[in-house]
Amino acid sequence: MDSLFLGMISAFIGYVVAPVTPEVGASYISILAILVLITSAILIVILGVLSKKKGFSWLKNYALPLSMVLSMALAIVYASWGVR
């Protein structure tokens, strides 16, 4: 699971840190994408610690999907706060 998560992060890191160029206007780096990436990393660490240290072995299979879904939900919250 850890290597799968790191592989996904490696694949999308270029998209996260690359400047976004809207059709009209100047380029900017998406703070929202960086914030969601950091949130996802924090969530996967928390879920990994819970599965290993607290004995929630069933959580090991769901750590990656849960971190992704929760991060997407938090992206909606961040966007509603005006982060772009």
Do you know the residue count of the chain?
84
- Give one DSSP letter per residue of 25-76, joined into a string: S--EE-HHHHHHHHHHHHHHHHHHHHHHHS--GGGGGTHHHHHHHHHHHHHH
Q: What is the pLDDT of residue 74?
A: 96
**How high is the mean pLDDT of the chain?**
86
Cα–Cα separations (whole angstroms), residue 61 to 6, 14, 20: 16, 27, 34
pTM exceeding the 0.75 threshold for the entire prediction: yes
Q: Which of 4-8, 34-38, 62-66 has the lowest average pLDDT? A: 4-8
* Confidence bin at 60 (pLDDT 50/70/90): confident
Residue 48 has pLDDT above 70, yes or no: yes
Given a contact cutoff of 8 angstroms between Cβ atoms, the answer to whether 56 and 17 are in contact is no
